[in-house]
Amino acid sequence: MQGEERKRPFVWIAAIIVVAIVFFAAGYVAHTTTTTKTSSSKVAVTFYESLAPSESSYFQNTLIPQFERLYPNITVNFVNLPSGQPPQEIVTLVQSNDVGASLVGLDNLAVGEVIYGAGGPYIMNLAPMINNILPSGLIPSAVKMINYENTVFHATYFIPFRSNIPLVWYNKAVFAQAGISSPPANDAQLLQDAQMIYNKTGTGPVMFQGAGLTGGHTGASTGTELYQWMVQFGGNPFVFNDSGDIAAWEYLYNLSAYFNPQYTSGYWGSYSGLASGTYSILDYQWPYIYGLLTNSTYKMTNSTLGVYPGPAGPANDYHLLGGDVLVIPKGATHLSAIETLAKFLLSAQAQRETLLNLSWVAVNSAAYQNLPASFSVVGSALQQAITEGVFLRNPTPWITIWNAYASKAFYEIIVNHVNFSQIPSILSSYNSEMYTYLQTNYNTTVANTYEAGGYQPITV
């Protein structure tokens, strides 16, 4: 990401465009599922995830009932955990010998925590059962992801489940009133457009996810957004203070003059203000909000709601690849029932439904058969982002600590609005704090690797 040449993606999301075109041409083949007889007695499987309210509702009210109708001998207890909680939940279950029949949807970024954390790995090697779970139509790049995982971890600890790319959303009506015909193509235009809209409306138009230390939200939303900004400015976000990082923070300092006053409470659940006109640019939100902003409550349409990958940074226009993988905590019981649930979640039926209803990017190629035209708005934005390039955050076991420091830096630099000249020194202080933390809690080798920039974004 630091000015290097763009590499060909190896992660599961990369093959979507080609696969989708092939299946569009081939036509739709109906997916059927037969009921299984797992045993004569009922088994209860607990499925842990961390989902937005609308996603959780869809799982609880649509997908799980479908599964239980198909497999009447298995019931599913769905537990929707707070953001960032699944890794800790896995550790607690294993350490307390209370795993039972458990399946977990885990943020791909948190894999390092449950593999490398003290006392780990806390998740099972799925190699013996993987052929019973994976669909035959797994997209080629998902296969490459599993092969890559085996190379790095020497085991199959996780299976690609869904992937996600944050997009930029805007209110077309407000842009038109300000005389702006298209969304900003780069960061310089974003700054200019934000100023024009501010001059026209008198209100800061940009909603940023600034609730890392405020607004009752202490999750990773602020750190996640900052990470992408620093990458697009050519920085290595983990070290905080290389030249690209500093440039990104200086830009955001200037852009913050046009942040909406509510930005300190902005997080992954903030989107309704785009429909009400409270703000007109929603910076990097997950695709699931499209269905919410266009529902009967907010009533936005494609003529008022705009969505695209976002403005290009001065170094690149790469986009953060998020999403979840499926893992099984070590010591789990009733593995046959767990396998059955995992296989259903990766089936063409379930993957297609989450693609259409939640805008999750599917890893089962059959899910892309005959997609309706109504999906083209978000689908086009996602495909454009993939084409421009994606990257992964390095899955270090200390990512939550970095997120906390990133949020503190944001509060100090942006919210408290320090003198502009202090930005480099403040970032260097957080670099030093991170180094000290790693030296104290890991070892000097890890700390020196960090300081030398050894933990970089993974360009895929």
How would DSSP label each residue in 402-446? HHHHHHHHHIIIIITT--GGGHHHHHHHHHHHHHHHHHHHT-HHH
Determine the pLDDT at residue 40.
55
Q: What is the pLDDT of residue 50?
A: 93
Q: Is 352 within the bounds of a domain?
A: yes
Does the pLDDT of residue 2 top 50, yes or no?
Answer: no
pLDDT of 218 = 56
Q: Note whether residue 200 is domain-resident.
A: no
Q: Does residue 38 or residue 261 have the better pLDDT? A: 261
d(CA 241, CA 424): 7
CATH code, domain carrying 75: 3.40.190.10
Query: Over 60: is that where the pLDDT of 25 sits?
Result: no
Separation CA 178–CA 198 (nearest Å):
9
Q: How confident is the model at residue 34, as a pLDDT?
A: 37
Mean pLDDT confidence for 139-149: 69
Residue 418, Cβ neighbours under 10 Å: how many? 14
What percent of the chain has pLDDT above 70?
88
Among 6-10, 44-48, 86-90, whose mean pLDDT is lowest? 6-10
What is the tally of structural domains in the chain? 1
Q: Over the chain, what is the mean pLDDT?
A: 86
Mean per-residue pLDDT, 327-339: 97
Task: Please indicate whether residue 197 or residue 162 has the higher confidence score (pLDDT).
Answer: 197
Looking at residue 139, its pLDDT comes to 67
Domain membership flag for residue 357: yes
Residue 304 domain-assigned? Answer: no
How high is the pLDDT of residue 417?
A: 96
pTM as predicted: 0.78
Tokens 């399946």 -> residue? 103
250 lies in some domain: no
In a domain, 52, yes or no: yes
Question: What pLDDT is stored for residue 22 in this prediction?
Answer: 34
Instruction: Note down the domain range covering 103.
Output: 12-164+324-376
Residue 216: predicted pLDDT: 55
24 pLDDT exceeds 60?
Answer: no
d(CA 135, CA 122): 25
How far apart CA 361 and CA 368 sit, in angstroms, is: 10
Judge whether 196 lies within some domain: no
Instruction: Specify if 252 maps to a domain.
Output: no
- Indicate the pLDDT class of residue 376, thresholds 50, 70 and 90: confident
240's torsion region: left (phi>0), alpha (psi -120 to 50) or beta?
Answer: left
Q: Is the pLDDT of residue 307 over 70?
A: yes
Tell me how far apart the alpha carbons of residues 72 and 36 are, in angstroms, rounded to a whole number: 8
Q: Which two tokens stand for residue 194?
A: 């934000």
**Which strands form 319-320's sheet, in the order they lie side by side?**
319-320, 390-392, 458-459
**For position 57, what pLDDT does the model report?**
95
Tokens of 340: 């059955």
